[in-house]
Every structure is written in structure tokens, then in C-alpha cells.
């Protein structure tokens, strides 16, 4: 069932900071997912790598997963000592936290320390010597065990097994980004300007942890020209 707020870190707080590292890098997309979100800004997350490495049930549900080409992967972050990338930060009311956990069902939602760009300058626009860090919740790589413990076998069978997926986090062999979702992410980050777009293209990796999204799109230029199904057009256009 629904998780009570009690399970979530710092549940005394009224607002929680969330890290966006895919489509949530777009303020419009963050707003459509979290209508009451506030204080949207950019930051930098160090010690984590951004990867397309696990199948997402929602892609099967929405019929945008392509099992024949294994284009079924969604985005997560995993610990990696020297990696870093640009993220969005925004706050949501604590009342919406259980819904956030429910929506991001397969992830291990962790608290990370993020460099907050909006705090880099003082009131006179002088760059401060010290970086300001903020604690925020992020969707990190999980485990199948954690999913089963949290949601039960029945939900796993219905959402994954029924679609031919035996494991979320130990998927065997090639797994490539879901086309419609990857296009959505690229359109979303484009709205933040060239620096954020370049960071996403060069600092997001495929399942092999080596191939960049930029290289993948250069090899598969059709991805950006593919329109989502009409019913999902609004949802998956950045």
C-alpha cells in the first residue's frame, strides 16, 4: 500500500529538496510532475554517475518500450568516485513525498549533498569562496530485494515479470535507452541552454558505463525525429 510519511527522512520538515537529473532538468517538466514545486535552480552532484541501465515498468505500461531492440532503459544514478554532473534542485511539500516514493517505485531514494549554484553569489553578484551544499533526495540505483521488500512479489510479477523482465537492477546483456524517454530528456535539457544540454549528452552513459548519450544519438539520429504516440505527446515532449 501507500507508504506513510513516517518512512521518509526528516519528515518533520515542511518542504523537501528533490534532485532532477533527467527530464526533471526542465522546469516545465518538473512543474507538470510536481505542480506545487518551488525554488527551481541548478546544481552539481559529485561522486555519482548518471546511467541508462534499468528497465522501467512505466515504459511497458505506456507501450513505449521496444523489447525487440532492448530499448527499454530508464535513468538512474550510481556511486562513482570521480564522476559529477549538472542537476536541477527544487522543493516539494512533505505531503507529496509518499507520492514521490510511489512514482519512483524501483529506486533506492537516497539523501545526497548537492552543490547549489544559486548560492554561489552574494547579493552583489560576487562569487563566494565557499560552495554551499544542500541535502536533497535522489533516485539512485536500487536492488530487486529492496523492491520486493517494499512492494511485494505480486507487484513485481505484474509490472516486470509479465513484460518478460526477470530483474530490474541485474538486467542481463544489452539494454538501451527507451527512445521516447531519451528524446523527452534531451528536449527537456535543451530548454536549460547549451551548457546543461552538453553536460547531459557528455555526462550520461549507457549500460556499458562508457558510451555517452551524445555518441548513442549520433549513431541513432532517428531517435530525435520520432514523435511519441499522440496520447503521450504532451507528457514526452520535454
| pLDDT tens per residue, range 146-173 | 999 999 999 999 999 999 999 999 999 9
Three-state DSSP state, 220: coil
| pLDDT tens per residue, range 7-30 | 555 446 799 999 999 999 999 889
Q: What does R_g of the chain's alpha carbons equal in angstroms?
A: 18
| Exposure of 217 in the CB half-sphere (CA atoms within 13 A) | 22
| pLDDT tens per residue, range 46-99 | 999 999 999 999 999 999 999 999 999 999 999 999 999 999 999 999 999 999
Three-state DSSP state, 107: coil
d(CA 172, CA 54): 10
Alpha-helical segments (H) within the chain: 27-33, 57-61, 97-103, 144-151, 153-159, 179-190, 194-202, 213-219
pTM: predicted TM-score of the whole model, two decimal places: 0.88
**70 and 175 Cβ atoms separated by less than 8 Å:** yes
Find the length of the chain.
238
Task: Please return the burial class of 233, using the count of CB atoms within 10 Å of its CB with bins 0-12, 13-18 and 19+.
Answer: exposed
Amino acid at each position: 500500500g501507500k507508504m506513510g510519511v513516517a518512512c521518509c527522512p526528516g519528515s518533520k520538515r515542511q518542504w523537501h529538496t528533490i534532485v532532477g537529473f533527467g527530464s526533471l532538468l526542465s522546469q516545465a517538466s518538473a512543474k507538470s510532475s510536481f505542480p506545487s514545486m518551488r525554488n527551481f535552480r541548478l546544481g552539481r552532484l559529485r561522486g555519482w554517475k548518471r546511467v541508462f541501465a534499468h528497465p522501467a515498468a512505466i515504459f511497458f505500461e505506456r507501450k513505449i518500450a521496444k523489447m525487440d531492440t532492448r530499448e527499454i532503459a530508464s535513468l538512474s544514478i550510481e556511486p562513482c568516485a570521480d564522476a559529477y554532473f549538472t542537476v536541477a534542485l527544487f522543493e516539494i511539500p512533505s505531503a507529496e513525498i509518499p507520492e514521490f516514493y510511489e512514482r519512483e517505485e524501483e529506486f533506492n531514494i537516497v539523501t545526497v549533498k548537492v552543490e547549489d549554484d544559486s548560492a554561489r553569489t552574494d547579493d552583489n553578484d560576487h562569487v563566494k569562496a565557499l560552495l554551499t551544499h544542500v541535502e536533497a533526495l535522489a533516485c539512485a540505483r536500487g536492488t530487486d530485494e529492496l523492491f520486493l521488500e517494499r512492494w511485494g512479489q505480486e507487484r513485481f510479477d505484474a509490472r516486470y515479470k509479465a513484460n518478460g523482465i526477470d530483474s530490474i537492477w541485474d538486467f542481463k546483456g544489452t539494454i538501451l535507452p527507451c527512445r521516447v524517454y531519451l528524446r523527452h530528456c534531451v528536449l527537456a535539457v535543451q530548454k536549460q541552454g547549451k551548457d546543461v544540454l552538453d553536460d547531459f549528452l557528455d555526462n550520461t552513459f549507457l549500460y556499458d558505463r562508457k558510451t555517452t548519450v551524445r555518441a548513442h544519438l549520433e549513431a541513432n539520429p532517428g531517435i530525435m525525429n520520432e514523435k511519441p504516440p499522440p496520447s503521450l505527446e504532451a507528457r514526452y515532449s520535454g
